[in-house]
Amino acid sequence: MYAIVKTGGKQYRAEKNDLLIVEKIDGEPGTPVELGEVVMVVADGSVKLGSPFVKGASVKTQIVRQGKAKKINAFNYKPKKNERKRWGHRQPQTHLLVTEVVGGK
81 Cβ partners below 8 Å, 6+ apart? Answer: none
105: confidence class by pLDDT, cuts 50, 70, 90: low
Query: What pLDDT was estimated at residue 70?
Result: 96
Query: What pLDDT was estimated at residue 104?
Result: 65
Query: What pLDDT was estimated at residue 57?
Result: 93
Are the beta carbons of 49 and 77 closer than 8 angstroms?
no
In the predicted model, is pLDDT for residue 28 greater than 80?
yes
pTM beyond 0.75, yes or no: yes
Tens digit of pLDDT for each residue in 69-78? 999 999 999 9
